[in-house]
Amino acid sequence: MKVIRAKSAGFCFGVERAIEIATTCADGGKCRVFTDGPLIHNRQVMERLTKNGILEIGDYKSESPIDEQIKDVSNEDSVLVFRAHGVSPERRKYLQSLGMRCKDATCPDVGKIAGIIKMHANKNFTTVIVGDPDHPEVIGLLGYAGGKGYVVKDKNAIDALPQIDGEICMVSQSTMFTDDYHEISEYFKKRFPNTKVIDTICGATKERQKDVNVLAEKGAKAIVVIGGKHSANTVKLAIMAKRTGLPCFHIETVGELDIEAIKKFDVVGVTAGASTPDFLIDEVCNVLEKL
C-alpha cells in the first residue's frame, strides 16, 4: 500500500509550546505540575505527561473549583499551568488566587483572539464568537467580552439571537472551517449589517484543511485521520475528509484501524490533528505501508 502523509500532520506550534512549558516546569520530576483541565486534547499524550508528574485537575471546561484537589499540596514546589485552550479572565483570577506559582501555556493564536475581543469590548462592541459553545477555548474567550457576548455555531443559532444594537465584532474559534466561517458570517451580516468580521482561524488549521484536499488530489483512495475524539480540529479534519467523497477512518491509535476495511485501497492518505504526536502517526503509517 502506498501511504501519502500530509505535510501538516501532527503537533502545531501552540501544542508544542504548551507541552514544552509543562515539561520544563516539571524539571524531570523535581517539581509537581498541575494543569487546569487537559493541557491538550490527546489522551495518549496526557497519559505520558502524567507519568512525568504532570497531573490534570479541574474539569474538561475548566469551570469547577480545584481547591480541594490541591489543599495538601506545597505551593513552594508546585506549578499550575494554564491549558493551551486558554481560560477566561475570571478563571485566571481564581487560579492565581490559589497561591500556587502559575505558568501560562495558552496558545498565542488563542491569546490574540482574546486580545481582539477585549479591545473591541472596551470600545463597547458586542462580541459574537462563531464556534462550539461548549468548547474550552470558546468558554475562555467569551469571558473577555465584558458581559456583551454571544456564541453561534450555525444559522439556527443566529436566528435565535435577540436584537443586538450598536456595533458588533465577530470572531471565530481558532479551529473553524474557513468556508463555514465565511458562510455563517455572511448570513449573520444580513441580519446585523453593522458587524465587523475578523478572520481569527489559525494558520495551522488552514494548512491542515488545505492538505486534506491535497491528499485527494495526489490520488488517495481513502483518508485516515488520527487524533482525539474530543479534539475540535481533528473532528473537523474528519468532516473535511468526508467532504472529499473519499472513505474516512477517524482513529485515535493504530489499534482502532479497521485493517479489513482499509486494505482494499492501494493508496491511502494520512493526516492528523494538531494535538497528535508523531509516534502515533508513525505507528499508523508503518502498519499501512506493510499491507
Cα-Cα-Cα-Cα dihedral sign, residues 24, 25, 31, 32: negative
The single residue listed with the C-alpha cell 495526489 is 218
Written as one string, the DSSP assignment of 213-277 is HHHHHTT-SEEEEES-TT-HHHHHHHHHHHHTTS-EEEESSGGG--HHHHTT-SEEEEEE-TT--
The DSSP output letter for 14 is: H
Q: Select which of 20, 47, 90, 137 is catalytic.
A: 137
CA dist., res. 59 & res. 75, Å (int):
21
Please say whether the beta carbons of 7 and 211 come within 8 A: yes
How far is 218 from 1, CA to CA, in rounded Å? 14
For 275, residues 6+ apart whose C-beta sits below 8 A from its C-beta are 11, 15, 40, 41, 42, 45, 227, 228, 231, 233, 234
Task: Copy the grid coordinates of residue 283.
Answer: 505507528
CB 35, CB 87: distance < 8 Å: no
76 labelled catalytic? no
Report the alpha-carbon distance of residue 16 to residue 149 in Å, rounded. 30
Q: Cα separation of 245 and 162, whole Å? A: 38
Identity of the residue numbered 2 = K
Which residues are known to be catalytic? 137
